[in-house]
Amino acid sequence: MQRILGIRDRPFLGALSPLARLLDWLSWKYGVLFVVSAGNYVDPIDTGKPWSELEALDPSLLTSVLIQSVAADTRNRRTLSPAEAMNALTVGALHADADLTVRPPATRIDPIPFGYPSLLNGHGPGYRRSIKPDVLLPGGRLQFIRPLTRQSTAFQPVRLDVAPGHEVAAPGDAGHLTCTAKTRGTSNANALLSRSAAFLAAMVAELRRSEGGDALASVPDGVLLKALLAHGARWGTLGTQLKEILRTVENTKKLADQLARLLGFGPLEVTDVAECTATRVTAVGGGTLLADAGAEHRFPLPPSLSGKRGWRRLALTLAWFTPVNPVSHRWRKAHLWFEAPTKSKLKVNRVGPNWQAAQRGTLQHDTFESESASAFVDGDDVVVRVSCREDAPGLDREVPYALAVTLEVADDLAIDVYAEVRERVRQRLQVRMQGPIVTFG
């Protein structure tokens, strides 16, 4: 896992940049996960409406105007090289930080709600319309300079190193080593994602030593971390709120793709992956696949959930590094995917990005939810079938992959899904079942 510097004057316009190509090759060659920021745009945002008209608007309406303006200009705000790299994990920023006591002075405004995508972000999609950025993390709150004239239609981001934002080390006077400044942007989010990767790396090492950990022997740490880092992403209520802001009569069929440009797979909750609770259990599996091969992973259902009505969520994340073909426009040699378990006995429905977009890169992350009761018996499973095919010509080697599965239920159901699922996995380990086996984090 490595943080890198981007190229500010090279937005992604359909062709992979040389640096993105290099990262893809290095990831496959050495099993290294590169974490890349989506890039920042600090130019004024032109709403096309004068300040005299916007000043009197309700704050929520001003928010809508700014987000709609940025979304309409998305072709001029594409991710910056090498954020389009297919094997890399790309992170965008959220309008969020911990300095909640700071209020804008009279010369500034803070029109974006806490936790929304930052208006600094570079937008997707990635290569061949894959989802980019992949995830979002706090990047500091961005304020704007209050327009000086009532005729002004543009909003200039504040670029001073003052609150709000994240406190970071900064150059100071000669000999002083304790100077700090407030900053905001996708590099901040990248630092937080890198930090999360360091914590999860320790968890991966522990998983390898635990019972059943030999099932992960063929999977590089970089691939496992890629799956786990993205596994806590979800659109949630933020997706619903942005749908209402961006929905028009004309874009109904393309709305999910427009949201994916801003949200990727969604804001990331790392603690949901690093820790299990009584109502949330996460399993990790993996293996290697040749072209035209497949593997079947089974996630045991907790019998106490059968017949119970209430909220439940199933999250699936598949990650791999693809070898590349530099003379093919397809670039990606290996396409892996899993079949959505929408027909399983758990009876859940997909929420979030378009399923086709989720399969165009090297990371497939799908979330399924339901509140309906479902009937099953002890021993029933959610079956996840992972398949591999050749995309660009020349796939002649096994491709390692990692699969993460999480089942979460509402607290008021009072079901210890963790204990029930864990016990059934242990029973299967004791009878030495054939095929890939999941292990727990």
Regions of the chain with pLDDT less than 70: 1-6, 430-441
Token match 């959610």: residue? 382
Per-domain residue ranges of the chain: 2-189, 270-440
Residue 434 has what pLDDT? 40
Residue 431 has what pLDDT? 53
Residue 20 has what pLDDT? 96
Residue 335 has what pLDDT? 98
Residue 6 has what pLDDT? 66
Residue 102 has what pLDDT? 81
Q: Is 105 exposed, middle or buried (0-12, 13-18, 19+ CB in 10 A)?
A: exposed
Residue 343 has what pLDDT? 75
DSSP bridge pairs for 181: 168
Does a cis peptide bond (omega within 30 degrees of 0) precede residue 133? yes
Residue 438 has what pLDDT? 42
The Cα-based distances of 331 to 61, 362, 389 in angstroms read: 43, 12, 14
Residue 14 has what pLDDT? 92
Residue 428 has what pLDDT? 79
Residue 441 has what pLDDT? 40
Residue 153 has what pLDDT? 95
What's the pTM value of the predicted model, to 2 decimals?
A: 0.93
Residue 430 has what pLDDT? 64
Residue 275 has what pLDDT? 87
pLDDT digits (tens, 9 = 90+) for 253-291: 899 999 999 999 999 998 888 889 999 999 999 999 999
